[in-house]
Structures are given as structure tokens and as C-alpha cells.
Amino acid sequence: MIGGFFYVLATLAVFLFHAQDLVYTSPAVISFTHLFLLGFVMMTIFGAMAQLVPVVLEVGHFGVELFYAIWPLLLIGTLLMVVGFLYSPALLPYGGTVVLISMMIFVGEIFLTIKKVKKLNLVMSSVLISNTFLFFGIIFGLLMALSYAGTISLDISQMLRAHVYSVIGGYIGITIMGLSIVLVPMFTLSHSFSLTPLRISITLMSLGVASVIFSALLNIKVLEYIGYFLSFLALPFYFYIIYIIYKTRPRKENDIYAISMMFAYSAMLVALLLAIVYFLLHKEVFLLASAWVLFFGFFGFMITGHIYKIIPFLVWFERFSPLVGKQKIPMLADMVPYKSSQAQFVFSSIGVVLVTFAILTKSETLLHGGASFLFFGGLAFVRSMLYMINFK
Amino acid sequence: MYTKDELFQAISTVIDPEVGFNLVEMGLIYDASSDDEGNVKVTMTLSTKACPLHQMILQWVKEAVEKLPNVKSVDVEVVWEPEWNITMADDNVKKALGA
């Protein structure tokens, strides 16, 4: 639920952008990035991991009660960082430290949970790898926060690459790769596909992220390009396995989950194309557009789509499963509000497209129009969440 | 004591909440048999190995069979061979899922 509110706040933060002079180092962009990634993406992933880890790893949490400490700390740390980037850099080390503590507890809990697993399979390995990258990513982030506030002195742009690649490629990317191979087949009822493409994809992505991190730390430029190349190479293998799952899925109905996934994967392809154009033309506007489509288009729809499956399941499990066989109970699909979920999809998708064009054309009008669509999409999303959570 | 059809009939009261059809229509129940003393053995699968309702569904199957008179024990075994696929479901399920 907190993640949902951060989603709406992130849509409001888009109004702070200035299309004419949009650069990735501007406080509004950095603040938005942390608001969206920490407040919405991380908060939701952590919440999902609290529920999914026992399913994926087939062992109980080391200490599930630790999540009650993780969320408030992440909430406070995120707000301090967002305000710090916009108005007061002195707040950044405090926000960064609180986020660091929150994430260290999370990473520690996950590592100790994985320790209980007797034999690691591919999905479990992906959880281990992604959390290792998260560990390093937050260390780099804290060093940057200290430097940003003037406490220590280091090359921020160099550290930025290591930080961004560890967290986005290493943690969020590999987490999505690993978990989607559990969740997408579960919701589409797909079976009997080889995991080899995923194994190749995760290996290439891990090597790519490690390469970029080493290039930043050792200042070896060639490693950076090798890292980018390996990461790009990882994606077709991931797309291939998703394509196979979708092609062979028995469940072909296009519910809100299915269309959200289709939009998310299409957005990822567009983000990839924009990134390639950036590397060819070296115009920052394409990098910004690529990051935007990756964030709101891919991460956003990947998460909101899964929310429409996960929340009904959790509520149903808690509220209705004890009533099975005793009285008529709703099915999971009955718990998803049709109108607000469709409204969320339509408004948010139009918003993503409009803001992408706004970034590319530097149009203030398109930017504000897109942000307005996103905001209403965000409200519809929160309305959907409240409906599902309060379903009786 | 009970025929396979009678046992399948009892198990058909268990609905998969995600798909909205009962386990027999889904083709998830592979076999069911009972001996003269009322010991029932059910062999079934699940639509996905990572099903978070795994234990709960087994319990529902057990409870559905236990409602039959004179049932002494119910053993529910989950197997992954053969792996479930949509061709095992009946036509209503296939149609509803768009398969």
C-alpha cells in the first residue's frame, strides 16, 4: 500500500521536470529516481519478497518479523533522500544511512534465509546474486551521498555508474528475471520450457554488472563497454524465454495482468532501442527517455500487473480460505475491480507514451499532459489497491 | 468401497480459486481408489510446482473425501509425472481460459 502511495507521489514529481533543460544530474530527476525506485519499486519488491521467498526458496524466512523494521526505515530514509536532493543536501547522509540500515537488514535476512536452503536452484541463485549486487549498490550509494553532502571527496560520476548498475541491473533486473520465471508461468499456467536461456541471461547480466562496477572502481574504460555489451546480450535470452512462456501459455485470456505484462515487455524493448540510439548518437535525451521508459513503462507495469494478482491472493488467503467448504466464497478474479484497473492501465500507458515524447521533443506541454495522465492512473491504482485490500 | 467416479465426485467440490474451476474439471486429479476398510488413496498434481496454495489444496481434497461416510483415512499424493497440461482439462476450462 505504501508503495502505491509512492507511485502517486512519483507521478506528481514528474511535474517538477523542465522539458527544456532535463539532464540526469538535475536535482528533480535524481529526486524522482529515488522516489520511484526506493519508494515504489523497492518498497513493493521487499513486500513481495516477504511473501514470495518461502514459495521460491521453499524454506521459511530467517526472521520475517524483521520486515516490520525494514519498511518504516526505508520509508523515512527515502523521504529524507527525496527532500535532500531537492532542497537540502545535508539531509542526504542521514537519509542514505537510514536506507542503508533498512537494506542491510533486508539483505542480511535474505542471506540468512538462503543459508537454510540445502541445494540452490536457478531461481534461488538469482535471489542470492541480486541481493549481493544490492549490498554493493547501497554501499556505493552511501559513499555518493557522503560525497554529495561534502563529507568525503570522490568522483561522483564514476561511483554513479557502479551504483546505478548494481541496483538497477544487478538487483532489480536480476530479481525480476528470477522471480518472473516463477510468477509468469504460475499465472499463465505454462509448463515444460527449458530454463537454459534464463541461465545464460542471468550469467551474462551478472558478468555485465560486475564488469561495469570494476570499470568504475578501477577506472578501466574497456571493462565498462564489455559490461554494457554483456548486459545487452543478456536481454534477448530473457526475452526468448518469456516469448516461449507466452507462446505456450494455456491461459490466453487478456486480463489486466496479461495486458500489463505485454505493455511492460514492450516498454522494455523500446527502452533497449532508445539506449542503443543513445550509444550511437551520444545524445543524453535518448538516455533519459530510455531510463524513463524502463522505469515507468517496464518496472511500473511489471509491478502494478503483479499487484493485481498478489493482493487478491493474500487477501483471499487471509480472509476467505478458512471459509472454503463452509460458504460461497469469491474467486480471485472477482476481487479485482474492473473499471479502476482498466482506468489505471489506460491513463498510465498514455502518460508513459506522452512523457517519452515530451523528453525526446523537449515539449513542456506534452510533459505536463503526460504527468496528468500518470497522476490519474496512479489514483486509479491506489483505488484498485484499496478495493482489493478491503474486499469482503 | 467407493468407485473412482464417486471419489472424483466428492473431490469435485474443491475449487481452484485462481482459475475458478474444480480440480476434477482442471484435470488435476489423476486417480482415486479405496479399499474395503475405508482407506482412500488420491493421486493428483497441481497446475504449477510453485503453487502457494499447495498444502491448502491437499487439505481441501482430504476434507472433501473425509465427508463421505465410512472413510477411515485419506492419503493424498502429489506427483509431477506426468506434468499437468491444458489438454488434461475439460472443454469448459479450455474455453474459459481461451486455450
Looking at CA atoms only, how far is residue A192 from chain B in angstroms?
8
List per-residue pLDDT tens for chain A, 392 residues long: 778 888 888 888 888 888 777 777 788 888 888 999 889 998 888 888 888 787 777 788 888 888 889 989 999 999 999 898 888 888 888 888 898 899 889 989 988 988 888 888 888 889 899 999 999 998 888 888 777 767 777 777 778 888 888 998 999 999 989 888 888 888 888 877 788 999 999 999 999 999 999 998 888 889 989 998 999 899 999 999 988 888 888 777 788 988 999 999 999 999 999 999 998 988 889 999 999 999 999 999 999 999 998 888 888 888 887 777 777 788 888 888 999 999 999 999 999 999 999 999 999 999 999 999 999 999 999 999 999 999 88
Quick one: pLDDT at residue A127?
87
Q: How far apart are CA A123 and CA A15, in angstroms?
A: 39
Q: What order do you get walking across the sheet with B29-34 strand by strand?
A: B29-34, B39-44, B73-78
User: CA triplet A32, A66, A321: central angle to 5 degrees?
Assistant: 95
Alpha-carbon distances of A168 from A67, A79, A176, A355, B97, rounded to whole Å: 22, 20, 10, 21, 35
Contact B29, B10 (CB under 8 A): no
The beta-strand segments (E) located in chain B are 29-34, 39-44, 73-78
d(CA A374, CA A351): 5
Phi and psi at A190, nearest 5°, equal: -80, 150
Identify which of B75, B21, B16 has the alpha carbon closest to the alpha carbon of residue B46: B16
The reply to whether residue A189 touches residue B96, judged by beta carbons under 8 angstroms, is no
Which residues, other chains included, contact A74 with Cβ-Cβ below 8 Å and sequence gap of 6+? A38, A42, A43, A46, A98, A99, A102, A103
pTM of the model: 0.85
CA distance A303 to A100: 23
Q: Cα separation of A372 and B3, whole Å?
A: 63
- Segment B15-65, tens digit of pLDDT: 888 778 889 998 999 999 998 888 999 999 988 777 777 888 898 899 889
Map grid coordinates 541445494 to a residue.
A119
**Could you tell me how far CA A367 lies from the centroid of its own chain?**
22
Q: Are strands B39-44 and B29-34 parallel, antiparallel or unpaired?
A: antiparallel
What was the pLDDT predicted at A351? 95
**pLDDT at site A263:** 95
pLDDT of residue A371: 93
Contact (CB<8Å) A186/B86: no
A49 to each of A61, A127, A229, how far by Cα in Å?
Answer: 10, 10, 30
A391 CB within 8 Å of a chain B CB: no
For residue A248, what pLDDT is reported? 81
- Given a contact cutoff of 8 angstroms between Cβ atoms, the answer to whether A301 and A341 are in contact is no
Please name the residue that has the C-alpha cell 499463465.
A188
8-state DSSP, B84: P
Per-residue HEC secondary structure of chain A comes to CHHHHHHHHHHHHHHHCCHHHCCCCCHHHHHHHHHHHHHHHHHHHHHHHHHHHHHHHCCCCCCHHHHHHHHHHHHHHHHHHHHHHHCCHHHHHHHHHHHHHHHHHHHHHHHHHHHCCCCCCHHHHHHHHHHHHHHHHHHHHHHHHHHHCCCCCCCHHHHHHHHHHHHHHHHHHHHHHHHHHHHHHHHHCCCCCCCHHHHHHHHHHHHHHHHHHHHHHHCCHHHHHHHHHHHHHHHHHHHHHHHHHHHCCCCCCCCHHHHHHHHHHHHHHHHHHHHHHHHHHCCHHHHHHHHHHHHHHHHHHHHHHHHHHHHHHHHHHHHHHHHCCCCCCCCHHHHCCHHHHHHHHHHHHHHHHHHHHHHHHCCHHHHHHHHHHHHHHHHHHHHHHHHHHCCC
Q: Rounded to a whole number, what is the distance in Å from the CA of A216 to chain B's nearest CA? A: 39
CB contact under 8 A, A252 and B97: yes
- The CA distance from A143 to A156, in Å, is 9
Distances (CA, A) of B1 to A274, B39, B64: 68, 9, 16
CB-CB under 8 Å, A324 with B60: yes
- From the CB of residue A327, how many other CB atoms can be counted at a distance below 10 Å? 7
Is beta strand B29-34 parallel, antiparallel or unpaired with respect to B73-78?
Answer: unpaired
- What angle (nearest 5°) sits at the alpha carbon of residue A14, between those of residues A259 and A170? 65
What separation in angstroms does the CA of A256 have from each of A310, A379, B21? 13, 16, 20
- The per-residue pLDDT for A142 is 81
Length of chain B: 99
B48–chain A nearest CA distance, Å = 6
ipTM: 0.72
Closest partner residue to B50 (CB to CB) among A186, A320, A333 is A186
Q: Are A185 and B48 in contact (CB under 8 A)?
A: yes
Residue to mutate among A324, A328, A336, A388, with most B CBs inside 10 A, is A324
A316–chain B Cβ distance below 8 A for any pair: yes
Distance (Å, rounded) from C-alpha B17 to C-alpha A1?
23
Locate A180 and state its grid cell: 518472473
Q: In terms of Cα–Cα distance, which of B47, B53, B32 is closest to B80?
A: B47
- Under 8 Å CB pairs connecting chains A and B tally to 61
Q: Which residues contact A59 (CB under 8 A, 6 or more apart)?
A: A113, A116, A117
